[in-house]
Amino acid sequence: MGFILDMFILAGIFGFLYGFLLQKADFCFTASIRDWISVRDSRIGKGVLVLIATAMIGWGLVLTLGLQTVGEVWTVPIGFSNLIGGVIFGIGMTIAGSCASGALYRAGMGYIQFWIVIASMMVGNILFALVYDPWVEGYFFEPLLLTEQGFSLYQLNLPFLLIPILVVGLMLLIAVRQFGWKELGQGVKESFKDFRGNPLTKSHWDIRMVAVLIGIIATIQFVVISSISITGPETRIASVLLSFVFGDDFIYQNAYLNSMFADFPSIGLGPEETLIIFMIFGAFVSALLSKSFKIRKPKLVRLPYAIGGGLLMGIASRMAPGCNIANVIPGIGGLSISSFIVIIGMALGVFIATAYVFKMPLLLFHKMDLDG
C-alpha cells in the first residue's frame, strides 16, 4: 500500500496549524500539572481540560454522524504497562522541561535544548526497539497485560454523545460552582481578547481559545487522516535515519520497528511523519511573526536534564504507549481506558519529579515559608 500526495499535503497543513497554535499559547502539558501542584497556577491545566472537553465532544459527534467508526478509535490493550509507561513519561517530561508536543513547538522557536530532547527521545525509541524482542515483550508487556484488546467506552451500547455530554456537563457544573456564571462568561469573553488587532503578530493567545481550536482541528484530522500522535511517527523518523546507516534490512529484522512500518510500502516518511516536521515549521513561523524567535542556547549544566529526560520519554512512550498528545486528544477524547490509565501515570510521574527531583515547593498542599 502506498500513500497519495493529498494525504501528505493535508498532514502538512494539520502539522503547521498545531505547531502555530501550540506556540501561540505556549501550551505546555508538563506545566499544566507541575505548576498546579507546585505554585497553584491552574491556567494551563484549564487549557488542558478545555482541550479534553472539545476532543470528547468532537469524537462523540464524529461517531454519531457516522464520519468514523468505533473501530477507528485509538485504544491499546489495558495493563499495568500503561501506568508504568505513564509514570516514567511524566518523570521524563518534567526533567526534560517539556512534553512531546512542547519539545516540537520549542524546537521551532529556536531552543537548542529541545532539539536535544527530541534527538534523545528518538534514541530512547530505538533503545526500546532493540530490547523489545524478546525481553520487553516477554518480561514486561505479557505479565502486565490485563486485556488482549483495547477498550473504548464508545464500545458500550450507549448513544455516542451521552458520556461526552455528561462529562463536559459535570465540568461546567464544577466551573459554575467555583467561579459563578458571571466570571465564567467573563472568561469566555477574555479568551477572545487576543484576536483584536492583528492576532498573527501577537506573542500570546489565550490558552482556552487555542485549546478549543486544537480540539476542533484534531477532530477534523480524525475524520480525514488519522488520530494525532507524535512519538509513533518520531520512532519511524528515527528508524528512517537508522536505515541510512545500517540499511533497510536492519529495520525489517527488528520485530518492533518492522511492526511500526507494517502499513508502509517501504522504510520512509509517511503523512504522520510529515505532520510532525510541519509542527516545528508552524511554530517557527508563529514565533517569527511575533518576533519571539531566537536561537536559545541552553546552560551546559542543564544538558544532562535534556538528554536524560528525553531518553526516559522516548523509552516510556513505547511502553505506555503514546505521549501526552495521543493519550489526551484521541485517547481521552476517544474514551479509551488505556489512555485514562496512562494520563494518571503521567500526573503521578510529574508529581514525583517535581517533589523529589527538583524539590520544588508543593503549595497546593502547604504554605510557603517566605522567610526561609
> What residues line the site for other proteins (CB under 8 A)?
26, 28, 30-31, 34-35, 38-41, 43, 94, 97-98, 109-111, 113, 203-204, 287, 291-294, 296-299, 302, 354, 358, 360-361, 363, 368, 370-372
Q: Distance between CA 134 and CA 152 in Å, rounded?
A: 29
- Rounded to a whole number of angstroms, the CA Rg of the chain reads 20
- CB of residue 14 to other proteins, shortest distance in Å: 23
- CB of residue 202 to other proteins, shortest distance in Å: 12
* Cell numbers placing 198: 492583528
Closer to other proteins by Cβ: residue 263 or 371: 371
- CB of residue 31 to other proteins, shortest distance in Å: 6
Within 8 A by CB and 6+ apart from 258, the residues are: 251, 252
Closer to other proteins by Cβ: residue 10 or 37: 37
- CB of residue 265 to other proteins, shortest distance in Å: 39
- CB of residue 310 to other proteins, shortest distance in Å: 13
Closer to other proteins by Cβ: residue 274 or 354: 354
Q: Distance between CA 282 and CA 326 in Å, rounded?
A: 19
Closer to other proteins by Cβ: residue 196 or 299: 299
Closer to other proteins by Cβ: residue 33 or 332: 33
- CB of residue 38 to other proteins, shortest distance in Å: 7
Q: Distance between CA 42 and CA 174 in Å, rounded?
A: 15
Amino acid, res. 133 = D
41, 364 contact by CB (below 8 A): no
Closer to other proteins by Cβ: residue 10 or 99: 99
Within 8 A by CB and 6+ apart from 80, the residues are: 144, 146
- CB of residue 360 to other proteins, shortest distance in Å: 6
Residue that is written with C-alpha cell 465564567 in the block: 184
Q: State the SS3 of 81-141.
A: HHHHHHHHHHHHHHHHCCCHHHHHHHHHCCEHHHHHHHHHHHHHHHHHHHHHHHHHHHHHH
Closer to other proteins by Cβ: residue 33 or 78: 33
Q: Distance between CA 189 and CA 136 in Å, rounded?
A: 50
User: Which H helix or E strand runs over 5?
Assistant: helix 5-25
- CB of residue 175 to other proteins, shortest distance in Å: 18
Beta bridge partners of 77: 150
Q: Which of 48, 47, 46, 59 is nearest to 163 (CA)?
A: 59
Class of residue 173 by CB neighbours under 10 A (exposed 0-12, middle 13-18, buried 19+): exposed
As a whole number of angstroms, the longest Cα–Cα distance in the chain is 66
- CB of residue 350 to other proteins, shortest distance in Å: 10
Closer to other proteins by Cβ: residue 31 or 168: 31
Closer to other proteins by Cβ: residue 34 or 236: 34
- The Cβ-side half-sphere exposure at 312, using a 13 Å CA radius, reads 26
